Amino acid sequence: MKMRTFLIPIGIGFLLIILFFIRMIGIGSAVPISPPPTHQDQSKVKLTPRENAGKTSRGLSERTKVSNDFKPLESLAITPVEHKFKTFYDNGALSSEWSFKNARLNGAFKTYYDNQATWTAFNFQNGQLEGVGKAFYPDGALFRETNYMRGKPDGHLKQYYEKGERWFDMILTYGILTKAPEIYSENGESAQGAILHPAVSADDGIYQMLTSYYLNQKVSSAWNLKNGVLDGVTTIYYKDGSPMCELNFKNGQFSGEAKCFYGSGELLNQTSYSQGLAEGVENQYYKSGAKWIETEFREGKIKIFPKAYSENGKTPEEKNHVKG
Non-local CB neighbours of 152 within 8 Å, separated by 6+ positions: 129, 172, 174, 175, 277, 300, 301
The tens place of each residue's pLDDT in the chain, 324 residues long, gives 444 444 443 454 544 444 333 333 333 333 333 344 444 444 444 444 444 444 433 443 344 333 344 333 333 344 456 788 899 999 999 999 999 888 788 999 999 999 999 999 999 998 899 999 999 999 999 999 999 999 899 999 999 999 999 999 999 998 888 887 899 999 999 887 655 566 788 888 889 889 999 999 999 999 999 988 899 999 999 999 999 999 999 999 999 999 999 999 999 999 999 988 999 999 999 999 999 999 999 998 888 888 999 999 987 543 334 444
Q: What is the DSSP string of 167-232?
A: EEEEEEETTEEEEEEEEB-TTS-BGGGSEEEEEEEETTEEEEEEEEE-TTS-EEEEEEEETTEEEE
The model scores a pTM over 0.85:
no
**C-alpha 53 chain-centroid distance:** 29
In angstroms, how far is CA 115 from the centroid of its own chain? 18
For the chain, give every domain's residue range: 120-303
Pick from 81, 274, 276, 259: nearest CA to 170? 276
Is residue 25 within 8 A of residue 19, CB to CB? The reply is yes
